[in-house]
Structure 1
Amino acid sequence: MLIGDVARCSGVSTRMLRHYDALGLVRPTGRTVGGYREYSAEDVRRIFHVESLRSLGLSLKQVGRALEDPAFTPSALVGDLVRLTEDRLAREQELLERLRAIDASAPEGWQGVLRIVELMQGLNSTSAARRQQAVLARPEGVSVPAELLAGAVLAESDPHVAGALRWALARSGGDGVAMLVTGVRSEDVDIRRRAVLAIASMSEAPGATAVLADALGDEDPTVRRHAALALGRRGVTAAVPTLVGMVVGGSSDVDAAEALGTLSRDPGCADRILTALVDELATPTADSATRLRLTQALVELSGPAAREVLRGLAHDGDRAVALVASAFVGVLDEQQPEDRGDEES
């Protein structure tokens, strides 16, 4: 077969076939009477071998070694190609995400594009201070996609930077909760914690309460606590058991007690909270420190029933509990003397 016929048959251009010939990759075994290249069936088969190896990403030099060197083993080379391809795909995925973020910001000019690129570069910095500055120094009027901020929130380990990102995400105007849902369902517990904290800062965002309520069933106690505090402040009674457990365990117990106080403003929930705290106080295994925390939590509750329990604790057998309860009763009576009059009448 002449070179033109081979080109049509193989799909390899005549120019590339001449290049293969010059490199010694595929040399036609014959010549016509007129001196033209003439390829045998074996030559054509070798051309297809060359093209197959090139399709895997091998260079022409590597292709030549693979075809000529019997000692040339494919395993190491293929492994290298796998790693190179993975790196290339990762870079292309990063580029794709960057382009999507820019597109989502709907820039009106190249200055807007440059601002988003600067923000992304800042968020990728190894310096926590630089990342925080990139978030807080965002110029007015520059729209930042919620997706970009949500991704940064889920990846950020520095608490100060994470706080700035949550602040920015809550004010981005996008559907930040929807962007964070994947984080709440992540197998990585740190990502779940970051996601719940971020959603907790979006008190008015649609869907936030439902996602946080689901997080109350998370296997990680920190995730449950973050969710319970946020829900308690929003008046969601499903958080009561977790909040009471936080008081008992001493984990953010002051915040938990305040959240219980908020929930106790609902008369239907007040009795439930009071009963739960009293039951914990009566638990034989409760030590003095635990009973003190429970006593302090009672102070946050609304209504005379909680104050009556405190009066009883003023005579508790644990002197520390009795002193704290007595002091709190005195303070509450001074603050709300009318309640005391109602109780005595």
Structure 2
Amino acid sequence: MRIGEVSDLSGVSVRMLRHYDRTGLLSPSQRTSTDYRDYSPADLGRLFRIEALRPLGLTLAEVGDALDDPTMDAATVLDRLRQETRDRIHAEQELLAHLTEVSDTGPATWEDALRVTAMLTALREGSSRQRQAAALQATAFPTQDQQPVAALVASYLEEPDENAAGALRWALVRAGEDAVPALTAHADGPEKVQRRIVETLAGIDGEESTAALKRFLHDAPEIAAPATLALARRSVHTTELISALVRMVAAGTRDTDAADALGRITTEHVPPEPVITALLAAAENAPTPVRLRIVQALGDLPDAGTALGRFTADPDPTIARTAGYLLDR
């Protein structure tokens, strides 16, 4: 069978068939009287086996070994090819993610693209000092939405140096609500990560950051407390928020700040009665330290005289004296 016929039958180009011949992978069994390649049915069968193995990622030399050495460990070779393929896919995914980050900043010029690339390199591969410098240089971006926010968030949440972390947090606060989705994507992370997220959200004004802060109200006290206080400083005075502040008072978690927030809320925004009721409910059958903190919190509320009067007969003399003092002020 002449080379052109083999090419038509197999779909392998004449050029590739000649390459197979030169490398010794597939040489025709015979030649014609005029020295043309003449392929036998056995040669054609070997060609089909070659083409079946090539899509697995084998080199031509490995294809030849697989066909010529029946003892070759196919499982080991296939496992290696699988790992090499995974490595290539991972590298391609990293490249795609990098290109996407640069593209998402909407660079108008190559200078813009180079600026973003330089920042990404500093954030991922630089020292803490370089990451801090990259965050401070964010002001060089023509607009805030041209900052690589996701990379800033990832670097900030992992940054071990507090000075660099502060600079990164400042850059994210400056980015505003554009940073909120990237921050909340890590909301289920460890406590240190959650604390940094809350600290940043507290500095960002807007509906999205407020909604994001609300999801931390029922978290661990170290996380819930700053989120609660940040919400209290905004025009968010829901029953859920008031309950969270009361829990802080009862638990002794930044209770002075929580009591101040309740006092401010009842003075400026909501009637004091629901807050007083919630505090009295928390004091019911509570230990002495809890009752004392609640009495002190009641002292910051308007119209709390009747509630304080209940504690003037408290079995603990310190609580009774404190309630009496607050009533006489």
Q: TM-score, normalised by structure 1?
A: 0.76
Query: Which ranges of structure 1 fall in alignment gaps of 5 or more residues?
Result: 334-345
Structure 1, residues 104-162: CA drift from partner, whole Å, max 9, x if none? 32333333222111111121136444323321233434445478323542562337345
Q: Please name the residue that 2:201 is paired with.
A: 199
Residue 248 in structure 1 maps to residue 250 in structure 2:
yes
Q: Secondary structure at the match of 1:303?
A: coil
Identity, in percent, stands at 37
Structure 1 segments, 4+ long, off by >6 Å, are 326-330
Q: State the alpha-carbon separation in 2 of the partners of residues 141 and 248 from structure 1.
A: 47
Q: Please name the residue that 1:177 is paired with.
A: 180
Per the TM alignment, residue 29 of structure 1 is displaced from its structure 2 partner at its CA by: 2.0
Q: Please name the residue that 2:69 is paired with.
A: 69
1:147-296 to 2 correspondence within 5 Å?
A: 148-154=148-154, 156-158=157-159, 160=162, 161-172=164-175, 175-184=178-187, 188-189=189-190, 195-204=197-206, 206-216=207-217, 224-234=224-234, 235-237=236-238, 238-265=240-267, 268-284=270-286, 286-288=287-289, 290-296=290-296
Residue 124 in structure 1 maps to residue 124 in structure 2:
yes
Per the TM alignment, residue 21 of structure 1 is displaced from its structure 2 partner at its CA by: 2.2
Q: State the alpha-carbon separation in 2 of the partners of residues 147 and 71 from structure 1.
A: 57
Structure 1, residues 165-214: CA drift from partner, whole Å, max 9, x if none? 34322322563334445444x5x45566655554343222x333334334
Query: Which ranges of structure 2 fall in alignment gaps of 5 or more residues?
Result: none
Q: Please name the residue that 2:80 is paired with.
A: 80
- How much is the aligned-residue C-alpha RMSD, in angstroms? 3.5
Q: State the alpha-carbon separation in 2 of the partners of residues 75 and 222 from structure 1.
A: 52
Q: Please name the residue that 2:38 is paired with.
A: 38
Q: State the alpha-carbon separation in 2 of the partners of residues 152 and 232 from structure 1.
A: 28
Q: Is 2:272–2:301's contact at 8 Å kept on the other side of the alignment?
A: yes
Q: State the alpha-carbon separation in 1 of the partners of residues 58 and 271 from structure 2.
A: 70
Q: Is 2:123–2:151's contact at 8 Å kept on the other side of the alignment?
A: no
How many residues are treated as equivalent by the alignment? Answer: 323
Q: Please name the residue that 1:336 is paired with.
A: none
1:3-82 to 2 correspondence within 5 Å?
A: 3-82=3-82
Which moves more between the two structures, 168-177 or 190-199?
A: 190-199
Per the TM alignment, residue 32 of structure 1 is displaced from its structure 2 partner at its CA by: 1.9
* Shift in CA distance, 320/103, structure 1 to aligned 2, threshold 3 Å: same
Q: State the alpha-carbon separation in 2 of the partners of residues 170 and 63 from structure 1.
A: 57
Residue 303 in structure 1 maps to residue 305 in structure 2:
no
Per the TM alignment, residue 33 of structure 1 is displaced from its structure 2 partner at its CA by: 2.2
Q: State the alpha-carbon separation in 2 of the partners of residues 73 and 293 from structure 1.
A: 74
Q: Please name the residue that 2:107 is paired with.
A: 107
* Shift in CA distance, 29/255, structure 1 to aligned 2, threshold 3 Å: farther
Q: Please name the residue that 2:94 is paired with.
A: 94
Q: Is 1:247–1:257's contact at 8 Å kept on the other side of the alignment?
A: yes
AA matched with 2:302:
G
Q: State the alpha-carbon separation in 1 of the partners of residues 42 and 93 from structure 2.
A: 41
Q: Is 2:177–2:205's contact at 8 Å kept on the other side of the alignment?
A: no
Per the TM alignment, residue 215 of structure 1 is displaced from its structure 2 partner at its CA by: 4.6
Q: Secondary structure at the match of 2:167?
A: helix
* Shift in CA distance, 76/132, structure 1 to aligned 2, threshold 3 Å: farther
Q: State the alpha-carbon separation in 2 of the partners of residues 51 and 197 from structure 1.
A: 59
